[in-house]
Amino acid sequence: MKQYLAEKVEAALASLGYGGQVIPVFERPKLEAHGDLTTNAAMILAKSMGKNPRAIAREIASALKLEREDVVRVEIAGPGFINFYFADSFFTRKLSVILSEGSRFGRSNTGQARKTQVEFVSANPTGPLSVGHGRQAAIGDTIANLLEWTGHDVTREYYYNNAGRQMRKLAESTYARYQQLFNASYPFPEDGYQGEYIKEVAERLKTERGDRLTAMEREAALSVCKEAAETVLFEEIKKVLARIGVRFDVFFNEDSLYTTGKLQEVVEEFRRRGLAYEKDGAVWLKATELGLDQDRVIIKSTGEPTYRLPDIAYHREKFRRGFDLIVDIFGADHVATIPDVLAGVKALGYDTEKVKVVIHQFVTLMRDGEQVKMSKRSANFVTLDELIDEVGTDAVRFFFIMRSISSHLEFDLNLAKEQSEKNPVYYLQYAHARIASILRFAESEGVIGPDRSMLASADLSLLKETSELVLVKLLLAFPEVVSSSAESLEPHRVPTYLGEVATAFHRFYHEHRVVIPDRGLAGARLALCGAAQRVLANGLQILGISAREKM
RNA sequence: GCCCCCGUAGCUCAGUUGGAUAGAGCAGCGGUUUCCUAAACCGUUGGUCGGACGUUCGAGUCGUCUCGGGGGCACCA
């Protein structure tokens, strides 16, 4: 419809001699009284022409040649908006599309099968996933879903490092806990990982290998400990991710960049371009030459790379693997590293416009109106696993997604657990279940058959009530919500929209009985119910939340 | 000192990429069920969009400054 109007308005503009000076853009007005679509083309034109916007709007409106019966009214309003009003039948007719497309309704091909990578979580296997990782997992997976729904060819990727200092510390911590099982006074490293999970790994080692590690050389034993800890922790991480419905296509090991010489290649490339130099025994990246405020070390004087070098090399690999769109999802604590990495990749000749960095803010857990203090050292550290235990997977995913990514997220544990109307997850699921119940009832009354195929043949023009039409229009907006949400990488728009759908449905349900003696109208209303259920189900699927038949 | 995010109703947050009279949920107050799920619906109270200046037909949205909260500025990741 936008397409049709755009053509007509452009033709009108051309006939008035305004051709090419403005591209008419249409949007849905906030207020229903302002029509179904509106354009501000006249106001934009007024600026460059120095004329009265309302006068131009009137010119355009009278030059419009609309032959369709779908547009019932064109109005000039406010400072110079041109508002278009469509016939109710235009909307109700399109409702059948929802039923015929079913689980595909809302999908589009705006992504044009572009090879897309979404990198998220990327936690090193040094401990259990935190609540913050949980938010990232939910955001990443939902963005990946949205990109799939808009026709991208998506790879979900997890980047991790099982080498380096942190893992060394993990090995030493595990080794110490293992030794303590035989000798309680064995010293624990000062900056070791305190968590209980380390003790569990040690116990497991004891079960599997007895005391044999105590007799081994320290380095050899450490290597066994490292491997054991890594294996156990990664299993745990994957298990928790699976609990909230997140799976990855690729686990990319940072270490592979070392063993295949990729890091060296990048350093050589920087040298060749005159962007690397040595100072104080370290290798520096001339970041100042790339527009940043200070040069950065990429290889320490010890010979070890800093995190920047592998990150740059990794991103270079992303490009080399042929991704057209690269989405990185990071927590707010990583913001500072991004400019360096992007500048480095750009210096290597890659188009960093293809990299979209999504930075999410932190999560605070609230219990009984008080903030739950979380620190890795203390005992009240809440893991993602524990959070899922407490509130369930649907609530976890919903709560992590419902706020905009750039906002701090206040996670109210009491609310998430509450099985009542206050809980926004239940509100959506209830709407879906309620519709399922209506359809079951209609079936038991013999109004529709078990396969529900007759919904598609209902006479939708019978839908004339306000609350019916409000719902119809909202349902038809779903594909646009999906595509704009995907394009802007803002998954929170989906739950916001679904909440509106649920509200519109509940209102319709409250005002009008569905299963009524008038079989024609009953059929139309059942079709509307079916369409609403479909939109809710598809939306919930994008969010990775279950759509329930009963509650 | 510098960089990033946030500041909108008592609380938690939306706000269609600069549009028309700033919205929702919760909390408060008042209503709705002989009927397909009341985990629902309706009405109502509540605002200097942190503040100042600017950009323009038009600013919650953009720019500069400022105040407050959070995060970050290593040869840690």
Alpha carbon A12 to its chain's center: 40
One digit per residue, pLDDT tens: chain A, 551 residues?
788 888 889 889 988 888 778 888 898 888 888 899 999 999 988 877 777 888 889 999 999 988 778 899 999 988 889 999 999 999 999 999 999 999 999 999 999 999 999 999 999 999 999 999 999 999 999 999 999 999 999 999 999 998 888 899 999 999 999 999 999 999 999 888 888 899 999 999 999 999 999 999 999 999 999 999 999 999 999 999 999 999 999 999 999 999 999 999 999 999 999 999 999 999 999 998 888 888 999 999 999 899 999 999 999 999 999 999 999 999 999 988 899 999 999 999 999 999 999 999 999 999 988 888 776 555 567 899 999 999 999 999 999 999 999 999 999 999 999 887 789 999 999 999 999 999 999 999 999 988 888 888 899 999 999 999 999 999 999 999 999 999 999 999 999 999 999 999 999 999 999 999 999 999 999 999 999 999 999 999 999 999 999 98
Which chain B positions come under 7 Å from a protein C-beta? 2-7, 12-17, 19-21, 24-27, 35-42, 56-58, 69-77
Name the nucleotide with the smallest C1'–CA separation from A332: B71
Name the nucleotide with the smallest C1'–CA separation from A41: B19
**Residues A482-508, buried b or exposed e (16+ Cβ, 10 A)?**
bbbbbeebbbbbbbebbbebbebbbeb
Residue A199: strand, helix, or coil: helix
Please give the pLDDT value at position A195: 85
Residue A469: strand, helix, or coil: helix
Name the one residue in this structure whose structure tokens are 């369930």.
A392
Please give the pLDDT value at position A355: 94
Q: How far is the CA of A222 from the C1' of B16 (A)?
A: 57
Complex prediction ipTM: 0.95
Q: How far is the CA of A531 from the C1' of B30 (A)?
A: 35
In whole angstroms, give the CA distance from residue A523 to residue A456. 9
In whole angstroms, give the CA distance from residue A243 to residue A5. 47
- Please say whether the beta carbons of A493 and A485 come within 8 A: yes
Please give the pLDDT value at position A31: 84
Q: How far is the CA of A52 from the C1' of B57 (A)?
A: 9
Cα dihedral A91/A95/A101/A104 (nearest 10): 70
Tokens of A131: 């609540």
pTM confidence score: 0.95
Q: How far is the CA of A329 from the C1' of B47 (A)?
A: 35
Identify the helix (H) or strand (E) that includes residue A434: helix A424-444
State the pairing for strand pair A81-86/A37-39. Answer: antiparallel
Q: What is the DSSP string of A224-263?
A: HHHHHHHHHHHHHHHHHHHHTT---SEEEETHHHHHTTHH
Please give the pLDDT value at position A4: 86
- Contact residues for A397 (Cβ-Cβ < 8 A; gap 6+): A138, A142, A244, A245, A543, A544, A545
The residue type found at A96 is S
Phi (first) and psi of residue A534, to 5 degrees: -65, -45
Cα dihedral A208/A210/A216/A219 (nearest 10): 40
Q: How far is the CA of A44 from the C1' of B56 (A)?
A: 11
Q: How far is the CA of A449 from the C1' of B1 (A)?
A: 73
| Domain architecture of chain A: domains with CATH | 2-86 (3.30.1360.70), 93-109+421-543 (1.10.730.10), 165-243 (no CATH)
- Please say whether the beta carbons of A334 and A345 come within 8 A: no
Please give the pLDDT value at position A330: 95
Name the nucleotide with the smallest C1'–CA separation from A53: B57
Please give the pLDDT value at position A504: 96
Please give the pLDDT value at position A257: 93
- Contact residues for A318 (Cβ-Cβ < 8 A; gap 6+): A117, A119, A326
Name the nucleotide with the smallest C1'–CA separation from A122: B77
